Structure 1
Amino acid sequence: MFVRLIIALLLVSGPVAAQSTRTPSHCHALADATPGLEYIHRASLRTVPEETVDIHYISHASFLIRSAGGLNIVTDFTGFIGSTPMIPDVVTMNHAHESHWTAFPDPEIPHVLRGWGESFGEGVTHRLDLGEVLVRNVSTDIRSQAGGVEEDGNSIFVFEIAGLCIGHLGHLHHMPSDEQFAAIGRLDVVMAPVDGGMTLDLPTMISVLERLRSRIVIPMHWFSGYTLDLFLDGMSDAFTVVQVEAPLINLRRDALPSQPVIMVLRPDYLRAD
């Protein structure tokens, strides 16, 4: 039954009412209000129903997250956002590899959140409250390109929106510590890299996801159907697998599945005509 509910959400449409406040989420970490913020651009994209969120898989580790009030967020932003011309309101980036960031984001993007600090190993802390969306991060270590470890060189970004807690694990290279799991908090939805080597090996990634126990897991950062299938096989005992065969899902907190689900989204360039 819960699978049908999730798939049915893809067909939901309705009027948008601009929201000035965020629906309370059950994420434990909250940001102080940030006055004086303005949105300089609203993309003319699909209408997002009230109290829901759109998640659109662009490519690799990039997703477009859209609120009912018209806020547009792109994760692991490289400058590519697909076929729809727009200026996002927020972009997040990680710098493990050039396919997760750009050194030249459009200067008209109001909020560019880098997942690393100004100095090597310094890390960074983000608490960006835009009213209906809160964006925060938890720093983790990465293997540096010089062969060592860059402490706090990656960020797990968490988006609190429409009462949901959505996490993007970025280029995760190690099992988070107890303190990092506590800082992440409870996630309803998590985007997880499942390449099996460039980030975490699959057994460790599966352990991370089993501990998070998110209602919905969206695989990302997979380079072939082979590694994706290995991940799905390893998760099949505890998670139901749903092949969405589309790049977009629309989620509502009160319609989340009662049991954990893996939802396999397909970017437009991977879909058969």
Structure 2
Amino acid sequence: MPCDLRRLKPCRGQEQRKPTSQCQAIAENVPNVTFASFSNDAPLTPAVSEGEDVKFTFLGHSTFEIESPGGIVIATDYNGWYRPATMPDVVTMNKAHPTHYTLTPDPAIKHVLHGWSDVPGEKADVDLVVGDAYIRNVPTDIRFSYGLGGSQENGNSIFIFEIAGLCIGHLGHLHYELTDAHYSEIGRLDVVMVPVDGGLTMGADSMSRVIKRLRSSLILPMHRRGPPVEAFVSMFGKDFDVANAPDDSITVSMRTLPKKPLIYVLKGVQ
């Protein structure tokens, strides 16, 4: 079988290369850095040319279906309840809460990516190329559930998907504000999926500070429990646009990202 480094097939007598991130910052641990997204003056409309569109569909809670131009289907925070119409090639999971993962996924799913490590004291380490999608993770700590107090180190992963030039981040069950080291490790995010529950993860004020620093072009709220989305949206000023979507999906590309950061509330989150 011929080797294919892009698809992670090892070459005989040749060490496999680690994928290179196009979104990660070159400088490490840069204090107070803000990474600019590659946006332009184009309105948020579907692209015309083929091979650059990425489609996002909100399935429920914190599960999105992401479809790449090459037809790779990814389901985020997959718990087995919210499923894409077609079998996903990749599912990512978060161990913070039962609604964010399942230990019994469909065996037909080729790539099941955990946001935690099964080895005590170690971090989850994801560096995977599947078709035209490169997937990596940035671990963060989480609070213990059920009022036990304390923190579990590296119990959450921010999954990052690099597809068609877009840098896409899913914050998972984020419990603490990010550090300078986290921002450096994440790099640029053009699209970010953010929990807006107002307390099960972080309060709206803390979460808004994270989003303002990331300064992504497109912000997709998720994980809404309790307070309305407006409680989260109210934390942003004139530097951000806000729109309610007519349906549960949106298709974007590098050239159709909004120039001004847009909080886009998909149907089902409202």
Q: Which amino acid aligns with 1:156?
A: I
Tell me what 1:241 maps to.
242
Distance 2:186 2:134 in 1: 13
For 1:27, the equivalent position in structure 2 comes to 23
Cα separation, 1, equivalents of 2:178 and 2:154? 11
Q: Evaluate the alpha carbon distance shift between residue 27 and residue 83 of structure 1 in structure 2; reply closer, same or farther with a 3 A threshold.
A: closer
| Equivalent residue, structure 1, for 2:17 | none
- Equivalent runs, 1:130-169 vs 2, <5 Å: 130-145=130-145, 146-169=148-171
3-state SS, counterpart of residue 119 of structure 1: coil
Partner of 2:87: 87
What is the Cα deviation at residue 70 of structure 1?
A: 1.0
The structure where helix makes up a greater share of residues is 1
Distance in structure 2 (CA, Å) of the matches to 1:194 and 1:118 = 28
- Which ranges in structure 2 are unaligned for 5 or more consecutive residues? 1-5, 8-19, 27-48
Equivalent position of 1:207 in the other structure: 209
Conserved 8 A contact 2:158-2:170: yes
CA offsets 1:11-49 (integer angstroms, 9 cap, x no match): xxxxxxxxx89xx9841279xxxxxxxxxxxxxxxxx94
Q: Which amino acid aligns with 1:182?
A: S
Unmatched tracts of structure 1, length 5 or more: 1-19, 31-47
Q: How many residues align?
A: 229
Separation in structure 2 between the aligned mates of residue 29 and residue 118 of structure 1, nearest angstrom:
28
Answer yes or no: is the 8 Å Cα contact 2:70–2:131 preserved in 1: no
Shift of 1:131: 3.8
Write out aligned runs for 1:96-245 (5 A). 96-145=96-145, 146-224=148-226, 226-245=227-246
Mapped to 2, the partners of 1:121 and 1:241 lie a distance apart of: 41
1:95 match: secondary structure: coil
Shift of 1:80: 2.6
1:238, CA displacement in angstroms? 2.3
Distance (Å, rounded) in 2 between the aligned partners of 1:66 and 1:221: 20
Letter in 2 for 1:216: L
State the one-letter code of the partner of 1:230: A
Higher relative contact order (CA 8 A, sep 6+): 2
Shift of 1:82: 4.3
1:53 aligns with 2:54: yes
CA-based RMSD: 2.2
Partner residue in 1 for 2:15: none
Residues 147, 98 of structure 1: CA spacing in aligned structure 2 closer, same or farther, 3 A cutoff? same
Cα deviation, residue 59, structure 1: 0.4
CA–CA separation in structure 2 for the residues paired with 1:102 and 1:153: 15
With normalisation by structure 1, the TM-score equals: 0.79
Relative to 1, partners in 2 of residues 1:243 and 1:103: Cα closer, same or farther, differing over 3 Å? same
Match of 1:13 in 2: none
- Contact 1:116/1:153 (8 A) holds in 2: yes
TM-score (norm 2): 0.79
Contact 2:245 2:264 survives alignment (8 Å): yes
CA contact (8 A) 2:65 2:84 kept: no
- Identity %, equivalent residues: 45
Deviations 1:136-156 (A, max 9, x none): 000000001232210000000
Give 1:266 deviation, angstroms: 1.3
Whole-Å Cα distance in 2 between the matches of residues 158 and 29 of structure 1? 13
